[in-house]
């Protein structure tokens, strides 16, 4: 129980810090609250977007898979912390696609 409380406290602190450090993030990332868990160059709650970009560089199917992952959420690819669904109804697909394209473009 204590570890859950500590984890939640750390995550909340990182969310606040992530929001403050997200100056290089595109507006779409801020609008969708991605900055609460992600930074471009360092791991916060979720992986650094540069690491995501490097992992999927040259993978032709990565964009479609990542759009689904960002939209519907999931876990297991970058640790035990699950990523919440950001667009489970599919109403913000253009936003999700633009965001994934930005992330994948970082390693070019």
Which residue segments constitute the domains of the chain, with CATH numbers given? 2-105 (1.10.760.10)
DSSP 93-105: HHHHHHHHHHHHH
Band of pLDDT at residue 3, cut at 50, 70 and 90: low
Residue 42: per-residue pLDDT: 95
Q: Tell me: the pLDDT tens digits for 46-101? A: 999 999 999 999 999 999 999 999 999 999 889 889 999 999 999 999 999 999 99
Distances (CA, A) of 52 to 26, 31, 96: 16, 20, 15
Buried b (16+ CB within 10 A) or exposed e, 71-85: beeeeeebeeeebee
pLDDT tens for 78-89 read 988 999 999 999
DSSP H or E segment with residue 41: none
Contact 69, 99 (CB under 8 A): no
Read off the pTM. 0.75
């Amino acid at each position: 129980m204590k570890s859950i409380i500590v984890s939640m406290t750390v995550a909340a602190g990182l969310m606040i810090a992530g929001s403050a450090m997200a100056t290089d993030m595109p507006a779409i990332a801020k609008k969708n609250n991605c900055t609460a868990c992600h930074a471009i160059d360092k791991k916060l709650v979720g992986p650094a977007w540069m690491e995501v970009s490097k992992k999927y560089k040259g993978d032709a199917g990565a964009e479609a898979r990542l759009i689904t992952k960002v939209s519907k959420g999931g876990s297991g690819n970058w640790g035990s912390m699950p990523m919440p669904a950001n667009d489970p109804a599919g109403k913000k697909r253009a936003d999700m696609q633009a965001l994934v394209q930005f992330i994948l473009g970082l390693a070019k």
